[in-house]
Amino acid sequence: MQRDMRQLIGCFQNDVSIHPLDMDEEKKLIQSGIDNPRRVKGLVGVTLSFSSHRLDGIGFRNESKGVEFYSRELGSPLTIGKKDIVRIAAHEGMSDGCHVFNDMLDYITFSTSASRLLFSFNRDYDCLILNHAKNFNHLVSMTDIYGTVVSFMPNNEYGRTLSKTLGSRCKSRFYDISLYYKGYVTFRDMVRMVSHGTTYNNFILQ
């Protein structure tokens, strides 16, 4: 069903509406396990209409004006329009470092897990979301401007390849956080298990 839906989206002209999250959407996100959605910088509500279908979900604007869209009906995020990374600035002006994520779901988990898991991380760092392997060269070039690069890539062959390439480029500026959630494929997998009672040592994110 999810695959058929994604194929349908690719076959039709899409009408995308972006709007601030309303209270009903926030309640749905909280019910789905996302604590305090207002803490997620850049997160917006997204309505996607195609053929005779309508999907309501959440998303982010990417650097090429495309939309990174997620709806539970799709199962995983999808780019509407031109593919690119998402950059979420911590504040105006230059940031000393950045956190790097494979997709928007890991970024959302990161943004909302601090109070629940007692993690400590640098709130003055920007966040970069890869979204698609085709965006990797752009992501890598973006990391050149940061003094510290903290990576939350998946613990699989794909993620390890990305981490190794980033590490080779950034050298001593690079910190691979996936080592701390070894045994889980993604950062959100680890957070989900912790939330359901699995014990895990707290650690400090750069």
- As given in the structure block, the two tokens for residue 10 are 């690719």
Name the one residue in this structure whose structure tokens are 């601030």.
20
Judge contact between 100 and 166, C-beta under 8 A.
Answer: yes
Global pTM value: 0.85
Task: Kindly tell me the sign of the dihedral angle through the C-alpha atoms of 3, 153, 101, 22.
Answer: positive
Judge contact between 35 and 48, C-beta under 8 A.
Answer: no
Q: Can you tell me the mean pLDDT for 94-110?
A: 93
pLDDT at 198 (0 to 100): 43
User: What is the rounded radius of gyration, in angstroms, for the C-alpha atoms of the chain?
Assistant: 17
Q: Residue 3 — very low, low, confident or very high, per pLDDT cuts 50/70/90?
A: low
Residue 149's SS3 state is strand
Does the pLDDT at position 113 exceed 70?
yes
Does the pLDDT at position 204 exceed 50?
no
- As given in the structure block, the two tokens for residue 129 are 């979301």
CA distance 50 to 10: 9
- How confident is the model over 34-70, as pLDDT tens digits? 777 778 899 999 888 876 778 888 999 999 999 999 8
Annotate 46-71 with b (16+ C-beta within 10 A) or e (fewer): bebebeeeebebbbbbbbeebbbbbb
CA distance 130 to 5: 23
Query: How, if at all, do strands 86-88 and 78-80 pair?
Result: unpaired
- As given in the structure block, the two tokens for residue 59 are 């998303």
DSSP state letters, 17-86: EEE---HHHHHHHHHTT---GGGSTT-EEEEEEETTEEEEEEEEE-TTS-EEEE-TTTSS-EEESS---E
**Mean pLDDT of the chain, nearest integer:** 83
Name the one residue in this structure whose structure tokens are 């629940």.
116
pLDDT at 117 (0 to 100): 55
